[in-house]
Amino acid sequence: MSDSDAPRVCPNPYRVTIADGDSTTDLQILEGTLGPAAVDIQQLYGQHNLLAYDPGFRSTASCKSAITFIDGDAGILLYRGYPIEELAEHSNFMEVAHLLMFGELPTLNGYKPFWTEITRHTLLHEQVLNFYRGFRRDAHPMAIMVGVVGALSAFYHDDIDLQDRDSRIHAALRLLAKIPTIAAASHTYSVGRPIRYPCNDLDYAGNFLQMIFGVPSETYKVDPVLSKAMDLIFVLHADHEQNASTSTVRLAASSGANPIACIAAGIASLWGPAHGGANEAVIRMLTEIGKAENIPKAIARAKDKNDSFRLMGFGHRVYKNFDPRARVIQKWPRMF
């Protein structure tokens, strides 16, 4: 959230030079927070009338990020310097959210007010529930998310001041509190069950589960194993650098737009099959497999090159050797 410090110039072995006839200019090489150095090309167009061509922005960094570090070759994922394995074992998602937002894990005294602030915002404005009635019951849940979060921006506009750090933090906490409520409502609306209110007596993951699975005709009891698994999944997906959705949020917001609307923009991007949509493919695959006894056959088919069946959800482009998040999942629940 705080990118204000300009990157420092970096003593390093590279030299990047622009030669225009006889005149030659050196471009500055800047130090990254943890990863590779970066050539400063900001003046390329202004001074040399040259553009840099980089579709997909694989080589271009648009900001200095102090939040997440990935070493794809070594299978390392750090949030604010903490290895994901450690966080998964010792911290819950609320603590990780605090870490990502403020740069440090909450103290015992700091956790309580942070959580209280979250619980104060779990409820949606009643009028927001009307949006759901605008959707057909067979609407794609991601479409519902884009629409409802986009519409939510209408409810919190005049009181957001992007120039004010407290105001930005407040907007972030509000979203952190409300997104599970919105997501759960998208599901219950789809299956024709009544939308559940949040329950602040439960923790973040447990509350999400009761909103997803609870029905008014029975008391919902949170299964602690399921709840911990849910929390773990939230921890592992909390941040993943400048990916398409994160970049979309940043780009949309670069015009000073309403931050909640910009999160809706990010959700739009997340929907795509090349990004979050990959998870949808996993769920379809699991539904196809159906039950545990079908797993060996599925693996056999996946190994058979002539079979169209493919294992989904294994591996990630940036991790060349292994995905550190997969290792955490693999060890679980034995590690608890």
Minimum distance from residue 91 beta carbon to a copy of itself (Å): 24
For residues 105 and 91, what is the distance between their CA atoms, to the nearest angstrom?
A: 9
| Beta-bridge mates of residue 77 | 70
Note whether 184 binds a copy of itself by CB under 8 A: no
Minimum distance from residue 86 beta carbon to a copy of itself (Å): 27
From the list 134-142, 225-233, 281-289, 317-325, the region that binds a copy of itself by CB under 8 A is 134-142
Note whether 34 binds a copy of itself by CB under 8 A: no
Minimum distance from residue 54 beta carbon to a copy of itself (Å): 5
Minimum distance from residue 87 beta carbon to a copy of itself (Å): 26
DSSP calls for 169-222: HHHHHHHHHHHHHHHHHHHHHHHTPPPPPP-TTS-HHHHHHHHHH--TTS----
Minimum distance from residue 282 beta carbon to a copy of itself (Å): 16
Count of positions on this chain that bind a copy of itself (CB under 8 A): 116
For residues 24 and 212, what is the distance between their CA atoms, to the nearest angstrom?
A: 62
DSSP letter (8 states) at residue 273: T
Minimum distance from residue 46 beta carbon to a copy of itself (Å): 7
From the list 166-174, 229-237, 265-273, 292-300, the region that binds a copy of itself by CB under 8 A is 265-273
For residues 264 and 248, what is the distance between their CA atoms, to the nearest angstrom?
A: 10
Note whether 333 binds a copy of itself by CB under 8 A: no
Minimum distance from residue 214 beta carbon to a copy of itself (Å): 11
Note whether 282 binds a copy of itself by CB under 8 A: no
Minimum distance from residue 317 beta carbon to a copy of itself (Å): 12
Nearer to a copy of itself, 23 or 306 (CB): 23
For residues 208 and 231, what is the distance between their CA atoms, to the nearest angstrom?
A: 10
| Half-sphere exposure in the Cβ direction for 332 (13 Å, CA) | 21
Pick from 37, 259, 283: which is nearest to 141 by CA? 283
Figure out which of the listed residues 34, 66, 123, 312 binds a copy of itself, where binding follows CB under 8 A: 123
From the list 78-86, 167-175, 270-278, 310-318, the region that binds a copy of itself by CB under 8 A is 270-278
Figure out which of the listed residues 33, 43, 116, 294 binds a copy of itself, where binding follows CB under 8 A: 43
For residues 294 and 290, what is the distance between their CA atoms, to the nearest angstrom?
A: 7
Pick from 154, 127, 140, 228: which is nearest to 189 by CA? 140
DSSP calls for 67-118: SEEEETTTTEEEETTEEHHHHHHH--HHHHHHHHHHSSPPPHHHHHHHHHHH
Q: Cis peptide before 333, with omega less than 30 degrees from 0?
A: yes
Figure out which of the listed residues 93, 265, 325, 328 binds a copy of itself, where binding follows CB under 8 A: 265
Of 84-103, binders to a copy of itself (CB under 8 A) are: none
DSSP letter (8 states) at residue 6: P
Give phi and psi for 76, each to the nearest 5.
-110, 130
Note whether 150 binds a copy of itself by CB under 8 A: yes
Nearer to a copy of itself, 24 or 306 (CB): 24
Note whether 284 binds a copy of itself by CB under 8 A: no
Nearer to a copy of itself, 11 or 55 (CB): 55
